[in-house]
Structure 1
Amino acid sequence: MEDFDTIDRRILQILQKRGRISNAELSEVANLSPSACHRRVQRLEKLGVIRDYVALLDPRKLGRPTTVFVEITLSGQADEVLDAFERAVAQIPDVLECHLMAGAADYLLKVVAADTEDFARIHRRFLARLPGVAQMHSSFALRTVRQTTALPV
């Protein structure tokens, strides 16, 4: 991120926490004129540094308070096995994240569910049918200690 100055970094920090802030408010907080601020935000968007703007939803209020981390080991490492698994897991709406890992497991999934019964449904309907799976280990999060979407800039 060496091409970004302190003003760019300040804009990014603010937008990560207050994505709906108006340009007028953002320019005031960043100590820029509104037009200069708007140009910088457009530049950061064009560069792909700002990928998107989203609403972060409260999983508890949507009846999905249970987070389960699922470690998956595949039967093989061939490209076809990995590709088939990744295509299938991308179709599961309850999977928020899927990471190809280095270490004991091949993939780590972050799954949301209403409760243990709902996770059992997700497991039966989707996870147990994923192609190429040799082993699966699920861990239920008891409490979220820290969660952020803001990257350090």
Structure 2
Amino acid sequence: MENITEQELELLRILQKNSRFDISELTERLNISRTSVYDKIKKLENEGYITHYAALIDPKKVGLNFTVIVNVSLISQRYDYVEEFTKHVASLSEVVEGYVTAGIFDYVLKVVVKDPEAFNEFIAKKLSVVPNISKVQSTFVMSYIKQSTVLSF
């Protein structure tokens, strides 16, 4: 954390919990003017601390009732295999999170779909068409213990 004040860190803590802030509340909590709050937010955006704003949607409310953690290994870590897999997976709307990992599997994907049939179609028509996949293992999520976008710092 370079070039960031404690006041800016507190602003980040507040915004990550609710980016639909009330400017009066922020000025009071941070003990600074409205202009200073806006200036600090713009600085944090420009420096890449704040990358974007989004509304968190309950998947079940929009008919996406089935979450699956998918572990994937490639045949090889050749650059072209990795590039092709990464580009393909990044384009799939069903994949809401994806990670390059070390260990038994090369990737961990979080896939959210309507139901098991939709997941089967996702695997058959979208994931398995990527060449050079050697292994896929799926774990079906039964319930959530914790979901958060809030970082501790």
Query: TM-score when scaled to structure 2?
Result: 0.93
**Residue of structure 1 equivalent to 2:129:** 129
Partner letter of residue 74 of structure 1? L
- The answer (yes or no) to whether the contact 1:88–1:131 under 8 Å persists in 2 is no
- 2:129, 2:13 → 1: CA distance? 41
Following superposition, the deviation at residue 150 of structure 1 comes to 1.2
Does the CA-based 8 Å contact 1:66-1:112 persist in structure 2?
A: yes
For residues 93-118 of structure 1, the C-alpha deviation after alignment (integer angstroms, 9 at most, x for no partner) is: 10111211100001111100112122
Q: Which residue number in structure 2 is paired with residue 111 of structure 1?
A: 111
1:44 — aligned with what? Answer: 44
Distance 1:31 1:59 in 2: 38
Match of 2:99 in 1: 99
Q: Where does the alignment leave 5 or more consecutive residues of structure 2 unmatched?
A: none
Matches within 5 A, 1:25-44: 25-44=25-44
Match runs of 1:1-150 below 5 Å: 1-150=1-150
Q: Which amino acid aligns with 2:8?
A: D
Query: 1:6: Cα distance to partner?
Result: 2.1
Mapped to 2, the partners of 1:66 and 1:74 lie a distance apart of 25
How far did residue 147 of structure 1 move? 0.9
Q: Which runs of 4+ in 1 moved over 4 A?
A: none
Deviations 1:71-107 (A, max 9, x none): 0010111101101111111221101112111000011
**Identity among equivalent pairs (%):** 34
> Which amino acid in structure 1 is aligned with residue 100 of structure 2?
L
- Structure 1-normalised TM-score? 0.93
Q: CA deviation at 1:2?
A: 4.5
- The number of equivalent residue pairs is 153
State the alpha-carbon separation in 2 of the partners of residues 57 and 151 from structure 1. 19
Q: Give 1:3 deviation, angstroms.
A: 2.8
2-side partners of 1:151 and 1:112: how far apart?
Answer: 22
2:111 alignment partner, SS class: strand
Q: Over aligned residues, Cα RMSD in angstroms?
A: 1.3
1-side partners of 2:76 and 2:93: how far apart?
Answer: 25
| Alignment gaps of 5+ in structure 1 | none
